[in-house]
Amino acid sequence: MTQIRDTYLPYEAEVVEMIHDSDEIFTLRLRLTDPIARVQYRFQPGQFNMVYLYGVGDVAISIVNDRDFKAGQFEHTIHRIGHVTTGLQQLKAGDRIGIRGPYGTHWPLAQAKGKDVVVMTGGLGNAPLVAAVESMLNNREYYGKLTVVQGLRDTAGLIYQDKYIRWLKAGIDVRMAATAGEPFGPWQWYQGFVTAAIPEMDLDPANTVVMSVGPEIMMLNVAKSFIEQGVPAQQIYVSLERNMKCAVGHCGHCQLGPEFVCKDGPVYAYDKVAHVLSVKGI
Amino acid sequence: MTLSSQFLPYPKLNDLIQTLQKAGYEVQGPTVQNETIVYDVVTSADDLPWGYQDTQAPAHYAIQKTDVQKAFGFTVPVQSVKPHLFKAQETLFKVTRDSQGKLAFTQNTGEQNPVAILGIRPCDLRAIHIQDRVFMENQYADERYQTRREKLFTIAVNCTDCHSNCFCLSVGGAPKAQSGFDLAMTEISDGFVIESGSNKGKVIVDQLGLSQATEEQINLAQAGIAHACEKQTKTIPDPERVARTLKSASNHPQWNDVARRCLSCGSCTNMCPTCFCHTQLEQASLDGSESEHVREWSSCFGLDHSYTHAGAYRAESKYRYRQWLTHKFSAWQDQFDVGGCVGCGRCITWCPVKIDVTEEINAICDHPDKQAASGEPA
């Protein structure tokens, strides 16, 4: 298949708003400056963009989208880790960056229709699922019970508090789990890992779809816990992270056994990748 | 070779080169440089390595001038065609930033004059088609690669000799190019049996005024190819069996064994005609007014290859060697519906510590059920 525009060429994007979620986490609200590209830009929840910082390089970041988005805008919530993200954290409204994408697979929102959905995330793993939750809220009648569990190291690190409150008010069963810190807010807290919330869930296993993002060990434990509860492995979805340079299956960095996580993933049904994830150093 | 094969006598080799030049091609072919045989621009048949032969063995490469006046008496050049199509370094796009901070992105299209490569060995020809699947026949195409590939004129030269590391027959190849070339030639005592494999090849060869190859000439060519087959000694099991065995050999003790020898230098991946892994770099100008985003070969043997903020997934060299070998001989088939190895033997020749991929594969396939001791998990 040949694309009209070079897949490696970014579009210029303008920072509409910079939101500092915490000392290390920030959200860039963006719009493409090319009016046609802006209108044509579409993504599915779970996909990612390559976010390019002038003179520094680019990184793969999942696309966040909020309920009341203005047309033609999208967000990236980013953890300051390396050179590119440290530079991105310095941006302010009006600054220009590059965006190419969207890339990768997306959450199974169509397949989850008619089912209960559990969204189980850890740390900044909540970002790649925001757009999926918003989409399900926008189409609330198609889904059964919606449960969102977010895990944290410390309760103080909770970002997106406004979103969680709004989701709670909209009828989503929102719960939190943390290994440290004082509980706060209107949601139930569990001491420990996200999986601590599972025993209290009134699950209809055959009719449940799980979507999970977090550290790999967390996703493995989430998957195993739900499988123990009787949820079929093919109804448990995870989003994987690997080194990505190209995002189009050319550079080879993201390989996981036969998978190119950038284009065959990042969202996978757990049964597709369970056998490779169990191999150390693959 | 078919009944339509023609005979290109040595004196007409220059005509072939000139005809290609007149058709707009820059002709490249094997040349002797720094005691090696490498592809470079050739303007006449005199530039070819007449009389040279090579010897290759684990961690050994040498060329010798002999009295046998053949143009293609050597086996495989140091590098394959890979650096022509998939550049070792190439700019993907340039960016300028104006005084208001606005960015302007410009694609590097990779446009260049058409090139004809004379003397592509059958293994390297297969390797081109394998890389085509990565960069062109994929969900996403790389325009730079595609542009060069579509303009490339390929002149295969079948093998009438082997080096000691060759094992193309074991991976479904042969010393004779089967398809996917514009022209294919087999060197005999006083010239070449030549056949065209495409319309564009036929157009060129029709201008040379050649006569039909005689039965004797065709027999000589076939005997040369048969000689190359007979001389090949390295083998691995059937590719399908290798692919299957490797899938369940992640804990095999051979990975620990090879890791004690492997330097993780990446020499094998640099020399491999199919390895496609690369990284991307940013090269900004000193005054900050422009920047280039560059693609550059990299290797799965590099520690940074699997690096994420959580650390390197393949921090130990046994994991990196396992990734390389398992990808090449197993996962590649799943990804691209073709194997990743053409049996050129370069990874053996250029490994500084004489690791022989066929020996590693045989060690695993001979004892597929071995498990690393619990003290040294693979």
Say yes or no to pLDDT of B45 above 80.
yes
Give contacts of A1 with chain B, Cβ < 8 Å.
139-141
Say yes or no to pLDDT of B3 above 70.
no
Please report the pLDDT score of residue A207 as a whole number. 98
Please report the pLDDT score of residue B46 as a whole number. 97
Say yes or no to pLDDT of B378 above 60.
no
Which of A79, A216, A279, A280 is the best substitution to test chain B (most B C-beta atoms within 10 A)?
A280
Please report the pLDDT score of residue B310 as a whole number. 80
> Peptide bond preceding A102: is omega within 30 degrees of 0, i.e. cis?
yes
Give contacts of B282 with chain A, Cβ < 8 Å.
55-57
Compute the nearest-CA separation of A104 from chain B (Å): 11
The pLDDT tens digits for A215-236 are 999 999 999 999 999 999 999 9
In three-state secondary structure terms, B296 is strand
Please report the pLDDT score of residue B244 as a whole number. 97
The pLDDT tens digits for B279-297 are 999 999 999 899 999 999 9
In three-state secondary structure terms, B265 is coil
Per-residue pLDDT averaged across A187-199, rounded?
Answer: 96
Please report the pLDDT score of residue A143 as a whole number. 98
Say yes or no to pLDDT of A272 above 80.
yes
The pLDDT tens digits for B198-249 are 999 999 999 999 999 999 999 999 999 999 999 999 999 999 999 999 999 9
Q: How many CB atoms lie within 10 A of CB B315?
A: 12
Please report the pLDDT score of residue B376 as a whole number. 53
Give contacts of A279 with chain B, Cβ < 8 Å.
250
Structural tokens at position B356: 């022989």
- CB contacts < 8 A (A, B): 136
Give contacts of A33 with chain B, Cβ < 8 Å.
102
How far CA A243 is from CA of A126, A246, B177, B309, in Å, comes to 20, 10, 37, 9
Q: Which of A1, A216, A252 shows the shortest C-beta gap to B139?
A: A1
Q: How many residues does chain B have?
A: 378
Q: How many CB atoms lie within 10 A of CB B304?
A: 11
CB B254 within 8 A of CB B376: no
Taking an 8 Å cut-off on Cβ atoms, the answer to whether B377 and A245 are in contact is no
Interface predicted TM-score of the whole assembly (ipTM), two decimals = 0.94
The pLDDT tens digits for A71-121 are 789 999 999 999 999 999 999 999 999 999 999 999 999 999 999 999 999
Please report the pLDDT score of residue A71 as a whole number. 76
Spell out the residues 6+ positions from residue B160 whose beta carbon is closer than 8 angstroms to its own.
B72, B175, B186, B187, B224, B225, B227, B228
Per-residue pLDDT averaged across B55-84, rounded?
Answer: 97
Compute the nearest-CA separation of B101 from chain A (Å): 7
Which of A5, A48, A54 is the best substitution to test chain B (most B C-beta atoms within 10 A)?
A54
Taking an 8 Å cut-off on Cβ atoms, the answer to whether B101 and A281 are in contact is no
Alpha helices in A35-126, H assignment, sequence order? 35-40, 83-88
Taking an 8 Å cut-off on Cβ atoms, the answer to whether A9 and B107 are in contact is yes
The pLDDT tens digits for B94-116 are 999 999 999 999 999 988 899 99
Please report the pLDDT score of residue A66 as a whole number. 72
Rounded to the nearest 5 degrees, what angle is found at the Cα of A261, between the Cα atoms of B149 and A78? 110
**Amino acid occupying residue B180:** G
The pLDDT tens digits for B121-162 are 999 999 999 999 999 998 899 999 999 999 999 999 999 999
Say yes or no to pLDDT of B373 above 90.
no
pTM for this structure? 0.95
Please report the pLDDT score of residue B4 as a whole number. 79
Say yes or no to pLDDT of B265 above 70.
yes
Average pLDDT over chain A, rounded to an integer: 95
Per-residue pLDDT averaged across A228-251, rounded?
Answer: 97
Number of H helices and E strands in chain B, helices first, is 13, 16
Structural tokens at position A110: 């169509």
Angle between helices B13-22 and B199-206 in degrees, nearest 10: 120
User: How far is B27 from B15, CA to CA, in rounded Å?
Assistant: 12
Please report the pLDDT score of residue B66 as a whole number. 96
Q: Which of A57, A248, A255 shows the shortest C-beta gap to B327?
A: A255
Please report the pLDDT score of residue B95 as a whole number. 98
Please report the pLDDT score of residue A266 as a whole number. 98
Please report the pLDDT score of residue B200 as a whole number. 96
Q: How many CB atoms lie within 10 A of CB B243?
A: 18
CB B25 within 8 A of CB B116: yes
Average pLDDT over chain B, rounded to an integer: 96
Q: How many CB atoms lie within 10 A of CB A105?
A: 19
Say yes or no to pLDDT of A253 above 70.
yes
